[in-house]
């Protein structure tokens, strides 16, 4: 698992380094973080299905939490960069998902498998819904003119349901 946690650290470092990069670099970073998040999500589910010891399951949850944080952080930065404003409601949704993950992690060793599965399903649905609700991060289009409408209507950002 150490190579996987290194991946999260490298993604976080790349995120920090890419803030001043081009829109394409920001998009690529966002997509890479999303890939890491989905990978961590699948790994966590696999740990449960394979009935791995609680310690290994918790390690997978830790990675999922870190990947989720990194992905959400990059998404918020990208949204703010593209729209010039932060979205507090969307941020609150991110905070709720992180809190659910942390609650699951903190209770993972004490829960029986049925309750663990129920909580895992809730968190998995929340993450899947969030990931599928995001459209592709746009790449700036220099040829866009002011006649095409306000920025919020062009190549819309990371619209979520």
> In whole angstroms, what is the distance from residue 15 CA to residue 24 CA?
13
Q: What is the pLDDT of residue 140?
A: 43
156 within a domain of the structure (yes/no):
no
11 within a domain of the structure (yes/no):
yes
161 within a domain of the structure (yes/no):
no
Do 80 and 102 meet the contact criterion of CB atoms below 8 Å apart?
no
149 within a domain of the structure (yes/no):
no
Is pLDDT at 64 greater than 90 in this prediction? yes
145 within a domain of the structure (yes/no):
no
The residue whose two tokens read 């010891």 is 53
Q: What is the pLDDT of residue 95?
A: 94
144 within a domain of the structure (yes/no):
no
40 within a domain of the structure (yes/no):
yes
The pLDDT of 40-57, averaged and rounded, is 94
Task: Give the total number of structural domains in the chain.
Answer: 1
146 within a domain of the structure (yes/no):
no
Give the whole-number percent of the chain exceeding pLDDT 90. Answer: 37
The residue whose two tokens read 């999500």 is 41
Give CA angle at 12 (123, 156), nearest 5°: 70
Residues 12-16: contacts with CB under 8 Å, at least 24 apart: 12/66, 12/70, 15/70, 15/73, 15/74, 15/77
Domain of 84, in residue numbers: 2-137
* Per-residue pLDDT tens digits for 95-143: 999 999 999 999 999 989 899 999 999 998 988 887 776 644 444 444 4
Is pLDDT at 15 greater than 90 in this prediction? no
């Amino acid at each position: 698992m150490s190579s996987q946690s290194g991946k999260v650290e490298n993604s976080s470092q790349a995120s920090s380094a890419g803030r001043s990069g081009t829109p394409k670099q920001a998009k690529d970073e966002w997509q890479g973080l999303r890939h890491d998040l989905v990978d961590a999500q699948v790994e966590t589910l696999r740990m449960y299905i394979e009935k791995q010891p609680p310690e290994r399951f918790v390690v997978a949850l830790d990675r999922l939490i870190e990947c989720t944080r990194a992905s959400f952080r990059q998404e918020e930065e990208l949204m703010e960069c593209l729209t010039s404003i932060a979205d507090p409601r969307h941020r609150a949704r991110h905070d709720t998902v992180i809190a659910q993950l942390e609650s699951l992690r903190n209770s993972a060793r004490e829960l029986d498998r049925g309750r663990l599965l129920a909580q895992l399903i809730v968190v998995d649905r929340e993450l899947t819904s969030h990931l599928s609700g995001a459209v592709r991060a746009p790449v700036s289009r220099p040829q866009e003119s002011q006649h095409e409408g306000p920025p919020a209507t062009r190549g819309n950002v990371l619209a979520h349901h």
